[in-house]
Chain A
Amino acid sequence: MSERKTVDIDLNRVEGDLEFQLDIEEGVIVDARCKGIMYRGFEQLMLGRDAEDCVVLTSRVCGICGTAHMYTSVLALEQIWHAEVPALATYVRNLCLAAENAQSDLRHSFLMFTPDFCNESYADQSFFEQANALFAPFKGSIYRQVLQYSRRLLEIVAIFGGQWPHSTYMVPGGVVSEPDHRKVIDSESILFPIRSWFEKTILGGSIDEWLSVKDSASFASWVADHPDSVVSQFTQMSRQVGLDKIGAGAELMLSFGAYCDSENWLNAGDRSVQSHWVKSGVYDLAAKEHLEFDQSLIEEHVRYSWFKDYGDGLHPSKGQTVPDYDKDSDRYTWAKAPRYNNRVAQTGPLAEQVIGGNALLQSLLDDFGDSVWLRQLARIIRVASTLQQMFSMLDGIAARIGQPHILHLPPEQKVDGSGFGLIQAARGALGHWITIDKGKIESFQIITPTAWNASPKDSSGDPGHWEKSVLGLPVDDPDNPLQIGHIVRSHDACLVCTVHMVDKRLKTKRVQTFGL
């Protein structure tokens, strides 16, 4: 007979409210319940509105990735209405999404993840003084530089879209603001100093040199040759406290594909496929196998959520979101459980880049496995390729000045029907599934990246990715749950649009379990 203890922990520096309920036996986690504890009913409040209004409202689902939500809604409407989108508009949309993603990667990495290295529990570590010099909130050098440069990056969204956050410059058929060369040069003049800073401080070398690092051995040389770079110091600190050994979870990685293909997206005869510059796909970590992505294989389960249960999983186009709160049942969250082909999946910058063909991350994944360190490294280094992509997007815009930025849809083209938009937001795979009836929104289902990562158990009882990733972990101080914080924050958790996590307790109950 052993004692099983239940503790509740909650986490800040995630966007939103999250509590994690952990069952602990003999000092290790044996079961975990990831609880989304805030419910706004966003999907319901769009019902019955004009179809185009959803583009204004969905950016308000999430203050951090509103551009991605807006983009996704527009894609869904364009699919239903068979809208043509001029290439110039797609370039502008991609540039703004890239700016939002780079800002999010920087802010998350250095305002939310790395401050944990300054936690008092690490006071005895050799890096403690250096970590504080770099990463301490409002004081560390990198912290302050990121405040400044992330703000500047978003000026690019304002230049093309009016403001960030929460503008509505994408509409079905294009973008509302006419691009010109002034805007291109203004954006480049913002990007040049950010690129120089990123190269000098974060990477320790030029992006071109960095992008030639393609396997674990070259990465080890880079870290040795550039010891003062943030990438190297972050890697050193992470390994010193074992972040390269914890946080593996779901064996399936998922990406919907990043940045729509300006030339092929709408002309692809098969409208059920949306083509992206960084390709979509699924990667099976256990079988080391890359698979094609098929959105029809997505289903959501609500057996452990505070929604009316509909039995097994449902495809999001048929999804139902009817709140049914009961604190005394075994249900525990406002998040649904999405599954891909009945399997638990994880999504984010690591999945996106491995599926997109990033040789370095594939090599590191093969050699060291999935971990907190690798996931966070993937987020930091994605900024390098995003900055490069932004320069080429600006070239693409400059080359198309004078071409249309919007193609108007005649009212008769705005027909009823169902459609979806799929894209990679900063945190991973984002999908909207919309049905329009008599010109009004009849159903609206959103699956956010964090919905995949923070999912509860499904109807077969299989735990979600985070729940899996903490199993077997020894519990450190439940009042200062550092390791669990590292794991969750390595996913850049965003619960506002999924449904916030950790610190602890509430109740300690004794359950008698009998060993076999």
Chain B
Amino acid sequence: MNVLWLQTGACSGDTMSILCADSPSLEEIVDFYGVHFLWQPSLSMEPVSHLLSTIEAICAGEMTLDVLAIEGSIITAPNNTGMFDTLRGEAKMNIVQRLAEHAKFVVAMGTCAAFGGVHASGSNPADCIGLQYDKQNPGGLLPHDWRSSSGFPVVNLAGCPCHPNVMTKVLAQLARGTAIELDEINRPKDFFSTLVHQGCTRNEYHEYDVEDTVPGDRGCMYFNLGCKGPNTEAVCNQELWNGRNSKTRAGVPCFGCTSPDFPTSKPMFTTEKLGNIPMELPSGVERAKYMAYKSLAKRAAPVRVSTRQMKP
């Protein structure tokens, strides 16, 4: 399976992340699933002239492109020319668009390529967008109804960075020809039907409403410290990072990096509240019932939890 990996407005974080994959590892998808990188900017041995001839061969229909993997925001500035990010004087956004027309699958590696990401936040100085979304709005570099030659929209492997094993597993799935089912924002359901909250080792604190007010403690970070775990779909606490841990287990709030609006303009270490309750409730929960549950839960808290004796 031919994969051409291009970086647009990127920090290389998704490349660095995939090097950390362990189930399967990067070398395993090469050895056992037949993934062949036509180009990977950090790993290809050939000089850039090889990339250019490969792009031209694909666009001339002389070479098959199974997967176009894009890492990074699509930079459209200045004035929608894309000249803030070029290869040999051609805007990368144009190169991506040309290649997409010849790819069986286009895969966004990370939130930047999927939705715009960090570079599209704030004043968005480089006018960044995603491949098929502009933040949560449908339509990015490619229109919302665009489909690759296999009939698929851009497959959004969200995350900042994307979880390493999500990238290797999806490439392995595509290589073995398995069907991929996507959610309403085109993320593969197998990896985005789990909340970060599921599997968080601070869950018992959440259960009994023992909420931290300062960073570095043992309690739950949802009520005060900005944690978006109960609203964020990702496998972070189900398939651990680097085989070891997750941000929330370590005491870092979930910043919701697999969501299209990441990062929002709101302060990142503070939870917005209505009264004493977070503005944004866990996915699908009714406010009145949640308030009743929380006031009961607090009263039911055992001392070992309310005094934070339990290590997350």
Contacts and interface: CB of A to CB of B under 8 A. Distances in A.
A164 B20 contact: yes
A40 B9 contact: yes
Contacts of A138: 27, 30-31
Contacts of A502: 47-48
Contacts of A144: 27
A147 B19 contact: yes
B191 to A, nearest CB: 16
Given A39-B84, A166-B160, A485-B47, 14 more contacts: A12-B42, A16-B12, A40-B84, A40-B128, A53-B268, A111-B43, A118-B45, A119-B45, A155-B242, A169-B247, A186-B244, A325-B83, A406-B216, A503-B49
B218 interface: yes
Contacts of B216: 171, 173-178, 405-406, 408
B75 A39 contact: yes
21 contacts: A8-B88, A9-B48, A10-B88, A11-B48, A12-B42, A15-B42, A38-B92, A41-B125, A44-B122, A45-B124, A47-B123, A49-B267, A52-B268, A61-B11, A119-B45, A138-B30, A144-B27, A161-B250, A166-B161, A177-B251, A334-B84
Q: Most chain-A Cβ atoms within 10 A of its Cβ — which of B48, B87, B269?
A: B48
* A-side interface mostly: loop
A37 interface: yes
Contacts of B16: 63-64, 165
A56 B245 contact: no
Contact of A137 (B13, B43, B161, B257): B43
B232 interface: no
Q: Most chain-B Cβ atoms within 10 A of its Cβ — which of A12, A150, A334?
A: A12
B89 interface: yes
A66 B13 contact: yes
Contact of A176 (B13, B48, B119, B250): B250
A62 B216 CA distance: 25
Interface residues of B, number: 79
B118 A163 contact: no
B241 interface: yes
Interface of A: 8-13, 15-17, 19, 37-42, 44-50, 52-53, 56-57, 60-64, 66, 107, 111-112, 115-116, 118-119, 136-138, 144, 147, 150-151, 154-155, 157-169, 171, 173-178, 180, 186, 323, 325, 327, 334, 405-406, 408, 479-481, 485, 494, 496-497, 500, 502-506
Contacts of B214: 408
B156 interface: no
A195 B41 CA distance: 29
A48 B266 CA distance: 11
A496 B10 contact: yes
A405 B45 CA distance: 44
B247 A167 contact: yes
A48 B89 CA distance: 33
B26 A147 contact: yes
B259 interface: no
A101 B242 CA distance: 17
Given A62-B11, A155-B242, A408-B214, A40 B311 contact: no
Given A45-B123, A52-B268, A162-B249, A506 B89 contact: yes
Nearest to A48: B122
A405 B218 CA distance: 12
Contacts of B218: 178
Given A45-B124, A60-B118, A177-B251, A503 B48 contact: yes
Interface in B1-56: 7, 9-17, 19-20, 22, 25-27, 30-31, 41-49, 51-52
A502 B50 CA distance: 12
A263 B123 CA distance: 40
Contact of A496 (B12, B46, B75): B12
A315 to B, nearest CB: 22
B153 interface: no
B311 A178 contact: yes
Interface string B71-112: 001010110000111111100100000000000000000000
Nearest to A501: B48
Contacts of B51: 12, 503
A154 B43 CA distance: 19
A8 B47 CA distance: 13
A155 B78 CA distance: 40
A57 B118 contact: yes
Interface in B120-141: 121-126, 128
Contacts of A63: 10-17, 161
Nearest to B78: A325
Given A162-B250, A168-B247, A154 B45 contact: no
B121 A45 contact: yes
A159 B245 contact: yes
Contact of A60 (B83, B125, B160): B160
A57 B31 CA distance: 36
Interface string B266-291: 01111000000000000000000000
Nearest to A159: B244
B86 to A, nearest CB: 5
Nearest to B257: A166
6 closest A-B pairs by CB: A41-B125, A63-B13, A503-B48, A162-B250, A163-B241, A176-B251
B255 A56 contact: yes
Nearest to A9: B48
Contacts of A64: 12, 16
A8 B252 CA distance: 44
B49 A506 contact: no
Interface string B199-234: 000000000000000111010000000000000000
A155 B85 CA distance: 33
B300 to A, nearest CB: 26
A446 to B, nearest CB: 13
Given A45-B125, A175-B216, A164 B45 contact: no
A64 B248 CA distance: 22
A408 B248 CA distance: 19
B309 interface: no
Nearest to B251: A176
B25 A503 contact: no
Nearest to B44: A12
Q: Most chain-A Cβ atoms within 10 A of its Cβ — which of B22, B25, B43, B263?
A: B43
